[in-house]
Amino acid sequence: MAQDSLAIRSLDWDRDRFDIEFGLRNGTTYNSFLIRGERTALVDTSHAKFRDSWIPTLQDLVDPRQIDVLVVSHTEPDHSGLIGDLLELNPDVEIVASKVAIQFLKDLLHRPFRSRAVKSGDLLQLGVNPDSGIEHQLEFLSAPNLHWPDTIFTYDHGTGVLYTCDAFGLHFCSDEGLDSDPETIAPDFRYYYDCLMGPNARSVLQAIKRMGNLPSIEMIATGHGPLLQHHLPRWIEDYRSWSQQRSRGQSYVAICTISQYGFCDPLSRAIAHGTSKTSVQVQLIDLRATDPHELTALVGEAQAVVLPTPPAFPDGELQHNIGTMLAALHSKQLVAIYEAYGGDDEPIDTMAGQLRQLGTRPAFAPLRIREVPTESTYQRCEETGTDLGQLLMRDKTIKAVKSLDSSLDKALGRVSGGLYVVTAVQNGRSSAMVASWVAQASFQPPGITIAVARDRAIEALLQVGDHFVLNILSQENHQPLLRHFLKRFPPGADRFAGVNILSNAAPGGPVLADALAFLGCCVRQRLEGGDHWIIYAEVESGRVADQEGKTAVHHRKVGNHY
């Protein structure tokens, strides 16, 4: 990868879901790195499930007792899962990490280890590699919340490689170790950003600013997927522009989490992901790792706050931070709670009562999660988050829609379309939406486009490579289907209950028995078009139920609604 530097990539071809809450289609990799100066550093380990391959690979490359330093970029188990094994092989290795990460590791490893806490600007000398003559000096950059509270980046002044672990990563498994084919990996790079980095867009911008002070970055060595080298300006600019878009305006929703407690983290991220599909900003706040002053400011200034049910018996520091957070709430805010499902959670109703007494208004009904979360739990959390974002944006959206110039509005309204129901099902998640912004877009191969609002529930199931069904409604009988699918469904509701469907008629989504025709489609590209995604899909199958039937047509008078 670079002079005196080696990547150990654990390839996870099978993993079709990552972090449980986010669908993933292309597997993933867990990358760790060896840097050899006069002394040797290892950056991160791997997921514990790769113990049998990662340890021998490491031993082939270096005698573990010769590793002087282990840099822990953050403590998430998929990168820190083999730290205990490394300590068995070399109890003298010095662990270098952020202060918070070292504290987490003490709780996690239950054994003594040598450690050094680092922060932005701190340097660590590995010395000159005797073969290459290159001096390897490591510089650390704090990158909190990307996407764990304890994250640091590591820059090697000898090679210009920046080790960022989760940031700039993507879940993409291939033998190709570099970003040689950017178009193939771009959709996964975007999806990963949206799910894991977008909810902390402000922190992303801060990290990019810090990166700007480094001499020159030749490569970004990420913890997941290919290493970024050939198109670096593009990837960094993507992160910058997406984060700037998400950081516009002042108001935001504070979504609190308690790291390493129950299912708190993935649940909070699913809610955050849902909210950030709307144009409302999100700030994820770890109640364990946030400084009390910052906590008071972040919670106090938020337009809405979402809280987990904390443990019934929190440790001292957490208890203190929960108290700080509750004291920062005020009656102008919308506040909601979700169950963390940590086993010994505070009762959710007691907490709801306390919030009522504080005079806060509910942002949504308490989210009761009494089971180990599944895809449908995460879908529910995501849709709850989106509903909250839409609620906060309601007045602005109405104003924006009304602000269209009236003759333009009437002219735009003359653009007409058919009436369709898009359906999709995937890994225990399903969804549907009425659509009229649909057009044929290619003869060969047959292709269509659909404009899908960014905050649509079904958007999550329309990623590149996903299958779905376009049900074409008939002018004779479209009304009952429209009525059904235009209902306001509660988060996570089964949208097909009571609807006649033909099972197994097409891959990707239910076929409506009362539709005039259907097309089985596969998403090939997603384009950003203003406030909608333009989904381009190839049509792989199709059938007409009534040869004489005509498609329902949708005529509008104005262009400011569907």
Ligand X SMILES: Cc1cc2nc3c(=O)[nH]c(=O)nc-3n(C[C@H](O)[C@H](O)[C@H](O)COP(=O)(O)O)c2cc1C
Nearer to ligand X, 159 or 423 (CB): 423
Nearer to ligand X, 143 or 450 (CB): 450
Rounded to the nearest 10°, the torsion over CA 507, 513, 514, 518 is: 20
503 close to 459: Cβ distance less than 8 angstroms? no
Residues 190, 192, 196: CA angle, nearest 5 degrees: 125
DSSP3 helix / strand / coil % (the chain, rounded to 5): 30, 30, 40
215 close to 162: Cβ distance less than 8 angstroms? no
Nearer to ligand X, 79 or 456 (CB): 456
Contacts of 493 (CB under 8 A, 6+ apart): none
* DSSP assigned state of 27: -
Nearer to ligand X, 278 or 321 (CB): 278
Nearer to ligand X, 72 or 515 (CB): 515
Name which of 207, 324, 172 is nearest 254 in CA terms.
324
- Smallest distance, Å, CB 459 to ligand X? 8
- Smallest distance, Å, CB 271 to ligand X? 16
Nearer to ligand X, 69 or 452 (CB): 452
Nearer to ligand X, 233 or 498 (CB): 498
- Smallest distance, Å, CB 427 to ligand X? 19
Nearer to ligand X, 284 or 452 (CB): 452
- Smallest distance, Å, CB 508 to ligand X? 17
- Smallest distance, Å, CB 124 to ligand X? 49
Nearer to ligand X, 288 or 495 (CB): 495
Q: How many helices (H) and strands (E) in the chain?
A: 14, 29
Nearer to ligand X, 254 or 448 (CB): 448
- Smallest distance, Å, CB 467 to ligand X? 18
Nearer to ligand X, 243 or 431 (CB): 431
- Smallest distance, Å, CB 507 to ligand X? 22
- Rounded Cα gap, residues 345 and 368, in angstroms: 11
Six-digit token string for 22: 């986010």
The residue to which tokens 């040869």 are assigned: 547
- Rounded Cα gap, residues 283 and 201, in angstroms: 8
> In Å, what is the CA distance from 183 to each residue of 32, 165, 231, 283?
25, 22, 11, 30
Nearer to ligand X, 22 or 437 (CB): 437
- Smallest distance, Å, CB 304 to ligand X? 19
- Smallest distance, Å, CB 477 to ligand X? 16
Q: Which amino acid is at 6?
A: L
- Smallest distance, Å, CB 410 to ligand X? 18
- Rounded Cα gap, residues 170 and 193, in angstroms: 8
Q: Is 2 left (phi over 0), alpha (psi -120 to 50) or beta?
A: beta
- Rounded Cα gap, residues 165 and 152, in angstroms: 9
Give me the residues that bind ligand X (CB under 6 A), please.
433-437, 451-453, 456-458, 486, 554, 562
Helices (H), ranges, 358-477: 375-402, 406-412
526 close to 536: Cβ distance less than 8 angstroms? yes
136 close to 6: Cβ distance less than 8 angstroms? no
Gap between the terminal Cα atoms of the chain: 51
- Smallest distance, Å, CB 454 to ligand X? 9
Which backbone phi and psi does 422 adopt, to 5 degrees? -90, 130
- Smallest distance, Å, CB 448 to ligand X? 12
Name which of 167, 186, 172, 274 is nearest 231 in CA terms.
186
Name which of 177, 160, 156, 216 is nearest 35 in CA terms.
156
Helices (H), ranges, 419-533: 478-485
